[in-house]
Chain A
Amino acid sequence: MGEAVTEAARQGQMAADGEIVSLGSPIRLGVQTLVKNRAALVGLIVVLIMLAFSFIGPLFYHTNQIATNLPDSLRPPGAGHPLGTDNEGYDEFGRLMLGGQTSLEVGLAAAVVATGIGIAYGAISGFAGGIVDGLMMRVVDGLLAVPTLFLLVYLFTVFQASVLLMILVIGLVAWLVPARLVRAETLSLRTREFVQAVRSMGGTRRRMIFRHIIPNTIGTIMVNATFQVADAILALASLSFLGLGIAPPAANWGGMLSTGVTYTYAGDWWLIYPPGLCILLTVMAFNAVGDGLRDAFEVRLQRR
């Protein structure tokens, strides 16, 4: 949930739209922020730990995550199974790694898809201006009016979910906010002297957009992309809870959590808190990094 809520919060960063002050390269600025802003630094470290846990962990901790093992199901944590086993007998610790792979893959890739479409659409719309811009933005408004989860539930009622489809669909649903942000920046950038200079020196429109406008929106894009990852991980979790996630033996943290909570009454805490905390920490970490980056790019806050 919360994609449009945070959009409002994110649009706070557009307040400083009208003024551009030399801040050095966006990447250097990002690094500086991480050093100064402790929450963002902790966030980044958590993200790296989660990535290492999910992708490097299975190289050292081998478990069977394909065949079910019903006689060994629902074992509490103990020897051989540091976090117990789930209702199908999978080792919960190993499954967290597998689930983390899917959750992080979907989150990161969906954010890339959404950001890519958003940049292209927003830059074209803002650069075209006039009636084309007006119509393109009304399409965005129309899609934004349909709550994300309603659209996702519909699409996954029609189509059978797979990791690739999950990435594409979440990405295709989430590009609206970056499109708006990029468009707003493009509107103000295209009237700037350095962009006009390209035209006066005979540069093409493509050069103006790709070499001058889009690179100047990178700050906004980086901030938004970070939030997109967090939102996509939560969207995947919500879909899994609604029974529209990716079918087993694939796993994701959201699906593990929603299976786990059905064992709440039995007191099987090891099926609930580990995946729940993984989602919570990862989403918080991405949000903290995004928040730190936003503070860095927000010009007015910096001057104080």
Chain B
Amino acid sequence: MGTYAVRRTGQGLIVVIVVSFITFIEAHLLPGNPARAILGVHASSAQIQAFDIENGYNKALPIQYVDYAIRLLRGNLGFSYVLNQSVASLLAERLPATVILVGLSVLVSLIAAIPLAVLQAVRRNRPADYVLTGFTFAFYSMPTFWLGLMFVMLLAVKAHVFPPIAPQGGPVQILQHPQGLVLPVLTLALGNIAAFSRYLRSSLLDNLAMDYVRTARAIGSSNRRALYVHVFKNALAPVITLIGLSLPGILSGALITESIFNYPGMGLLYWNSALSQDYPVLLGVTIVVAVGTVAGSLIADLLYAVADPRIRYGRPA
């Protein structure tokens, strides 16, 4: 376990460095230069020059990158000139809300996907399998924003069951109004159920075809026992990595979901910053989201190695 964990963590660190390159390149993709993008079209060349010197944009690119990396390591994610606030403090406000939204919807997707997948695997290629697959795929194939707005129309405007807007404020206020979380969480979760249950279904089917199932049946275990005791354990272990792999997709969904429900998380912050062309915030959110994703998949892989010893001793992934 030790060497695997060290090797995998090392890979994670390299990926984080790659991520910092990506955001650095993103910053320099800006038309003109960062100073022009931040100060606007009316800035004089003297202002631009002063800004460049103040922020080190007049130095050679490799030196700029080193400066950037050092700033990042110190937790300095930049400054939002639009909101007049440091990006780090903005993120500290918004990050917990997104963690709540994403965490809850992963949980809901799993709770729905596991029984669905068992049903689909056991009734493989029968009507029940087709109907369930059809339904989950319909949700998966629907643009997230349409699904969310249909929920608002049906359950908030017409039926008044849930509020149409997410609770505002910090994580405490959000958790104090769970009814406001229902629609955002559902919107984000429904699309994932298809992906999760499809993956679990094929994982269950793979395991059902294994020799150990035949052995279990041969020594007198019932079908039910073979499924729930032997197959279940083996088929559910990959779910840990599945969650890790799904994180970027779910975060993309969160960007849309938060925009629909005015949910005060990082996705909404990102969209608003895109509309106001607040590049420091966009880059800061990108790096935090990406590092979070890397950390998430690292944790998932390490947990999976604990659950399945074959990973630790096998070929490096």
Residue ranges of A at the interface with B (Cβ–Cβ < 8 Å): 1-9, 11-12, 15, 39, 135, 138-139, 141-151, 153-155, 157-158, 230, 234, 237-238, 241-244, 254, 257-258, 261, 264-265, 272, 276, 279-280, 283-284, 287-288, 291, 298, 300-301, 303-304
Given A8-B245, A158-B31, also A265-B256 (CB < 8 A)? no
> Which of B21, B146, B242, B285 is the most central at the interface, judged by chain A CB atoms within 10 Å of its CB?
B146
Report how far A279 CA is from B140 CA in the complex, Å: 11
Whether B270 pairs with A153 at a CB distance below 8 angstroms is yes
Whether B249 pairs with A3 at a CB distance below 8 angstroms is yes
A-chain residues with CB within 8 Å of residue B259 when the two chains form the complex: 241-242
Asked if B182 is at the interface of the complex by the 8 Å CB criterion, the answer is no
Stretch at the interface among B61-69, B87-95, B197-205: B197-205
Whether B275 pairs with A243 at a CB distance below 8 angstroms is yes
Asked if B262 is at the interface of the complex by the 8 Å CB criterion, the answer is no
A-chain residues with CB within 8 Å of residue B18 when the two chains form the complex: 138-139, 141-143
Asked if B250 is at the interface of the complex by the 8 Å CB criterion, the answer is yes
Q: How far is the CB of A60 from chain B (nearest CB, A)?
A: 28
Asked if B159 is at the interface of the complex by the 8 Å CB criterion, the answer is no
Given A138-B11, A261-B149, also A146-B143 (CB < 8 A)? no
Q: How far is the CB of A243 from chain B (nearest CB, A)?
A: 7
Whether B137 pairs with A5 at a CB distance below 8 angstroms is no
Given A1-B191, A9-B199, A284-B137, also A241-B256 (CB < 8 A)? yes
> Which of A9, A237, A261, A279 is the most central at the interface, judged by chain B CB atoms within 10 Å of its CB?
A9
Q: How far is the CB of A288 from chain B (nearest CB, A)?
A: 7
Q: How far is the CB of A299 from chain B (nearest CB, A)?
A: 11
Further contacts, 18 of them, CB under 8 A, given A158-B29, A242-B274, A276-B146: A1-B252, A2-B191, A3-B248, A5-B250, A8-B195, A8-B241, A8-B242, A8-B245, A12-B203, A138-B14, A138-B15, A148-B252, A149-B252, A158-B30, A242-B255, A272-B146, A279-B141, A284-B141
Dominant secondary structure at the A interface: helix
The residue on A at minimum CB distance from B195 is A5
Q: Nearest 8 pairs between A and B by C-beta?
A: A142-B18, A149-B252, A5-B195, A283-B141, A1-B253, A8-B245, A4-B249, A145-B290
Q: How far is the CB of A15 from chain B (nearest CB, A)?
A: 6
The residue on B at minimum CB distance from A288 is B137
Q: How far is the CB of A189 from chain B (nearest CB, A)?
A: 15
- B256: which of A8, A39, A238, A300 is its contact (CB, 8 Å)? A238
Given A158-B29, A288-B137, also A147-B293 (CB < 8 A)? yes
A-chain residues with CB within 8 Å of residue B31 when the two chains form the complex: 158
B-chain residues with CB within 8 Å of residue A157 when the two chains form the complex: 274, 277, 282
A-chain residues with CB within 8 Å of residue B80 when the two chains form the complex: none
Whether A2 pairs with B256 at a CB distance below 8 angstroms is no
Whether B146 pairs with A242 at a CB distance below 8 angstroms is no
- A287: which of B141, B196, B252 is its contact (CB, 8 Å)? B141
The residue on A at minimum CB distance from B153 is A264
> Which of B133, B203, B209, B248 is the most central at the interface, judged by chain A CB atoms within 10 Å of its CB?
B248
Whether A154 pairs with B274 at a CB distance below 8 angstroms is yes
Report how far A300 CA is from B204 CA in the complex, Å: 13
A-chain residues with CB within 8 Å of residue B11 when the two chains form the complex: 138, 141
Report how far A261 CA is from B245 CA in the complex, Å: 32
A-B contact pairs, 17 of them (CB 8 A): A1-B252, A3-B252, A8-B246, A9-B195, A9-B198, A12-B202, A12-B206, A39-B130, A141-B294, A144-B248, A145-B290, A145-B297, A147-B293, A149-B251, A300-B206, A301-B205, A304-B209
Asked if B162 is at the interface of the complex by the 8 Å CB criterion, the answer is no
Report how far A91 CA is from B272 CA in the complex, Å: 33
B-chain residues with CB within 8 Å of residue A149 when the two chains form the complex: 251-252, 255-256
Whether A242 pairs with B15 at a CB distance below 8 angstroms is no
Whether A280 pairs with B252 at a CB distance below 8 angstroms is no
Whether B145 pairs with A261 at a CB distance below 8 angstroms is yes
- B255: which of A11, A153, A280 is its contact (CB, 8 Å)? A153
Report how far A154 CA is from B245 CA in the complex, Å: 22
Q: How far is the CB of B205 from chain A (nearest CB, A)?
A: 7
Find residues 131-162 in chain B having any chain A CB closer than 8 Å to their own CB. Answer: 133, 137-138, 140-146, 149, 153, 157
Report how far A234 CA is from B143 CA in the complex, Å: 6
Whether B248 pairs with A12 at a CB distance below 8 angstroms is no
- B245: which of A7, A287, A291, A304 is its contact (CB, 8 Å)? A7
- A141: which of B15, B30, B253 is its contact (CB, 8 Å)? B15
Whether B22 pairs with A143 at a CB distance below 8 angstroms is yes
Find residues 1-30 in chain B having any chain A CB closer than 8 Å to their own CB. Answer: 11, 14-19, 21-22, 26, 29-30
Whether B246 pairs with A4 at a CB distance below 8 angstroms is yes
Q: How far is the CB of A154 from chain B (nearest CB, A)?
A: 6
Whether A150 pairs with B286 at a CB distance below 8 angstroms is yes
Given A15-B206, A243-B275, also A1-B256 (CB < 8 A)? yes
